[in-house]
Amino acid sequence: MKAIVTVIGKDKPGIIAKVSAVLADNLVNIEDISQTIMQGNFTMIMQCGLEKAKLKISELKEVLLKVGEQIGVSIHVQHEDIFNAMHKI
Amino acid sequence: MLNRKEIIETIDMVEKEHFDVRTITMGISLIPCIRDTAEETAKLCYDRICKKAEKIVKVASELENEYGIPIINKRVSITPASLLTSSFCGKEVVLAKALDRAAKTVGVDFLGGYSALVQKGMTSYEKSFIESIPEALAVTDRMCSSVNVGSSKAGINMDAVRLMGEIIKQTAERTKDRDGFGCAKLVVFCNAVEDNPFMAGAFHGLSEGETVINVGVSGPGVVHHALKSVKGASVDEVAEVIKKTAFKITRAGQLIAKEASKRLNAEFGIVDLSLAPTPVMGDSVAHILEEIGLDCVGGHGTTAALAMLNDAVKKGGVMASGSVGGLSGAFIPVSEDIGMIRAAEKGAITLSKLEAMTCVCSVGIDMVAVPGDTSASTISGMIADESAIGMINNKTTAVRVIPVPGKGVGESVEFGGLLGSAPIMAVSPYGCSEFIARGGRMPAPIHSNKN
């Protein structure tokens, strides 16, 4: 299963390090990553493979929500299918 | 990889524009539960609902977590209850209480289907059932009731129309300590649909499968936001934007519906393409119409703008879902839409204009508070008018009015939550009691004879 992790917030050093460390600890594989400034915000989008992950997607969401609170960014974790459904015919 | 803008667009829809799946409704056939006594039937119905819908709340919460789309309501609809109670007339409320308990046990917001379909004729057990509605709604919390009094094929059962005016008055009286709240859970239909996931009118039709999942999506806020990008553009461009937005919203609904049916071991029924507002700011159908260019909903141009909106939502939605059904149209409930509430407060929207609007959208005179001294025959007159619109135009129409006991025009009523609040609207001072007293059956229109 693939998940899309989206990190949005004020840019500062260490965001990628912190988020990717949590993903690595939980055996979540980052398969694609892009970052940019959108609407004045740091925006990072990661496509992640959860095939070998230690956590279910809902649990990973909880963990990353807390990480987001610690570093002051908002983090979303969503099943990739929702984006495919809404934006691809 | 997915397009970055599309990902952010979806997240913004949820976070800033109130995008959600409005309801996952499980339809359950209760035909196997029919027994001779009220107690036995009630027990079997309770057990069956609890077994079938046991996981609905849990599964909805899992889906919400995985896909990041809020699922606001979890509901159950059942076989029209008048078909279950024929052998214990006078004791229908025993079943009503069991249904309410079942709804609370499984944790759903509402259970719909305390219903009767009497568009052509009314049996003695159906009449007894309908007469039980005021008490049933007074002693339950989560149960909703509906009665279908007409159809394009059968015409309008004017005896049922007359009876329902009285039933609405009695329901208001029985729940007068809560401003007639019982009436918010009672809807009178013409051309009721069997797979509607929305309350108060949901029931599980006889032609449906054993257990079915129907999903209602929503997103007035998303459509409103999308329209801000086409200020001053021509109406066909506006329609195009609505269509594209409806497509996206419906695709999300379709995905959730499919996945929910799989996990709940039920058949996937339909996705209902209705735009359903809530009383919070930014989730209003009225505000979409104002974004299209009306000074205030209810003014001239409202019906035309609504017709276009309604049609464009369907065109976008139909391509997005494998199976479209339910009511599928923009809802215009007064108390549940902040824009409609404001328009009613300043007198911009009246019952006459609402009636005109129901010719081009779903579903009818909905969640309208009227003075407590409105007569039963005047309410029957409203039902007859709406039914005639539905019958002649081959569409579903409905009436859900609350004659608020002890209150009049200028006052308002607060129902709370998704049901919102409503200023009491004036009804015509001219009655129709002789017309309603005639009873009988209004013949079906000539165009119903298509064979």
Confidence band for A55, pLDDT divided at 50, 70 and 90: very high
Nearest CB to A58 within list B7, B65, B254 = B65
Give me the mean pLDDT over the A55-63 stretch.
Answer: 93
In chain B, domain spans? 1-451
Average of pLDDT values for B186-207? 97
Res B315 pLDDT > 70: yes
Q: Which B positions 239-278 lie with beta carbon below 8 A of chain A?
A: 248-249, 251-252, 254-255
CATH topology of domain B1-451: Anaerobic Ribonucleotide-triphosphate Reductase Large Chain (3.20.70)
Are the Cβ atoms of A85 and B6 closer than 8 angstroms? Answer: no
Residues of chain A contacting residue B1, judged by C-beta atoms under 8 Å apart: 32, 34, 45, 47
Alpha-carbon gap: A75 to the closest alpha carbon of chain B (Å): 11
CB B156 within 8 A of CB B120: no
Contacts of A40 in chain B (CB under 8 A): none
Render the burial of B371-396: b for 16+ CB within 10 Å, e for the rest: bbebbbbbbbbbbbbbbbbbbbbebb
B32: tokens are: 């196997």
> Would you tell me how many other CB atoms lie within 10 Å of the CB of residue B39?
14
Closest approach of B299 to chain A, Cα-based (Å)? 35
B429 near B374, Cβ under 8 Å? no
- Average pLDDT in the B12-22 region? 90
Band (pLDDT 50/70/90 cuts) for residue A88 is: confident
Is B417's pLDDT higher than 80?
yes
Predicted local distance difference test score (pLDDT) of residue B81: 98
Residue B1 has pLDDT above 70, yes or no: no
Q: How far is CA B393 from CA B79, B305, B334, B353, B387, in A?
A: 27, 19, 23, 18, 10
Distance (Å, whole) CA B365 – CA B363: 7
Q: Is B444's pLDDT higher than 80?
A: yes
Q: State whether B65 and A57 contact (CB < 8 Å).
A: yes
Q: What is the interface pTM, i.e. ipTM, of the complex? A: 0.91
Least confident of B128-137, B203-212, B312-321: B312-321
**Nearest CA distance, A82 vs chain B (angstrom):** 6
The arithmetic mean of pLDDT across residues A58-65, rounded, is: 94
Write down the mean pLDDT value for chain B.
Answer: 95
| Domain annotation for chain A: domains and CATH numbers | 2-87 (3.30.70.260)
Q: Give the pLDDT of residue B416.
A: 85
Percent of chain B with pLDDT over 90: 91
In this predicted model, what pLDDT tens digit does every residue of B250-266 receive, in sequence order? 999 999 999 999 999 99
DSSP string, B397-444: EEEEEEEETT--BTBEEE--GGG-EEEPPPPPSS--HHHHHH-SEEPP
